[in-house]
Amino acid sequence: MDFELSPKAREYQAKLQEFMDGHVYPAERGYAEWRAANDPHALPPVVEELKAEARRRGLWNLFLPDVSGLTNLEYATLAELTGRSHELAPEAVNCAAPDTGNMEVLHMFGTREQKKRWLDPLLDGEIRSAFAMTEPEVASSDATNITTSIERDGGDYVVNGRKWFITGAADERCTIFIVMGKTDPDAPVHRQQSQILVPRDTPGVTVLRHLPVFGYQDQHGHSEIVFEDVRVPAANLIAGEGDGFMIAQARLGPGRIHHCMRALGMAERALELMCRRAADRVAFGKPLAAQGVVQEQIAESRMAIEQARLLTLKTAWLIDRHGAKGARTEIAAIKAVVPRTACQVIDRAIQVHGGAGVSGDTPLAAMYAWARAMRIFDGPDEVHIRTVARQELRPYLG
């Protein structure tokens, strides 16, 4: 098992590091100040400036192997770098969720017309998208619970249902939803669901509200949406009827690598901030860095990050060689391990910073909100732990 990067990947890494140091980090304060003074879901102008600069440097759509030529393992190291500035960097290089997953779906399963109308402008960074699966009335950690209906009516499908925490929907650039619902409630349990493209401006689509996370309103938002007798052409169906669960599973392997490596990038930055604070701050006559309890927090953080990163890189390596099915246990494991690791490290950094850690003067509070939410979105910890346990017990249960 070899995690050595190719010369091409090392070149991308160096270029991305230079972009982060010279453009992304310096833009963070202005980004936050602009959002504080304007509609929280409006787009700060600096984002488009960063996108243009990233594209000029060839740092664009790096997540998609058929475009970048990078393996999942090689892209993982780049995703970690972007996670250090989680609000700005992923979008600056057109590698932000949920667009990445939606682009992967359209790339794998979209028709020529679907790709031309939706995938191409997404790849160009002209629009944004959302994935509408989670529902307020059912435990959506079990996707078979979904109640939204997608019913055939002549040459159309009619969509009815309610979704919430739909990431990206508050952004005015979000023009297309991939909606998951049931086309046949009587089919076998994993053949009941389908996925369909619903343009935002379709009659019957109502964005009710934008939901905060720990009081934060992300620029892209997390929204509650009602679909009431929403009629779209049958050609908007992705793949075939009953393929929804399969499509959802196909997007999860690489997507979880992206999420987890970005979270580790956040943890690395939190550890860096913790060390700087410990070196600069004096308490009881000596720097915090000389206090044994703080040293332990720093050491525990470093060890946890290294362990979580190695497991994630192993998972990426397995996906590259055996596909998502060949890495099923590891994919579940990293989704439980990494968010918990990130939360622990960020929490320690907050503690070392004292009041500053929970304020807006450092990025730590916002980072913690995102990392803690990650223990729920894309499936809660308990679902992934259950998957690991089942795989481990299989040889013993017959």
153: DSSP letter: E
Q: What is the pLDDT of residue 252?
A: 80
Which amino acid belongs to residue 221?
A: G
Sequence-separated (6 or more) residues with CB below 8 Å from residue 346:
266, 267, 270, 364, 367, 368, 371
Residues of the chain with pLDDT under 50: none
Q: Label the pairing between strands 128-132 and 174-182.
A: parallel
Tokens of residue 107, six digits: 């790339």
| Nearest C-alpha neighbor of 3 from the set 74, 108, 75, 85 | 74
Task: State whether residue 132 is helix, strand or coil.
Answer: strand
H/E run at residue 383: helix 381-397
| Nearest C-alpha neighbor of 227 from the set 158, 178, 314 | 158
Q: What is the pLDDT of residue 142?
A: 86
Rounded Cα distance, 305 and 130, in Å:
30
Write the DSSP string, 21-57: IIIIHHHHHHHHHHHHHS-TTS--HHHHHHHHHHHHT
**Model pLDDT for residues 259-285, shown as the tens digit of each residue:** 999 999 999 999 999 999 999 999 999
Q: What is the pLDDT of residue 144?
A: 87
Rounded Cα distance, 383 and 360, in Å:
33
Rounded Cα distance, 56 and 127, in Å:
19
Contacts 24+ apart (CB under 8 A), 326-331: 327/253, 328/387, 328/391, 329/387, 329/388, 329/391, 329/392, 331/252, 331/253, 331/256
Q: What is the pLDDT of residue 250?
A: 86
**Model pLDDT for residues 46-90, shown as the tens digit of each residue:** 999 999 999 999 999 999 998 899 999 999 999 999 999 999 999
Q: Which domains does the chain have, with CATH numbers?
A: 7-95 (1.10.540.10), 112-242 (2.40.110.10), 245-397 (1.20.140.10)
pTM summary value: 0.94
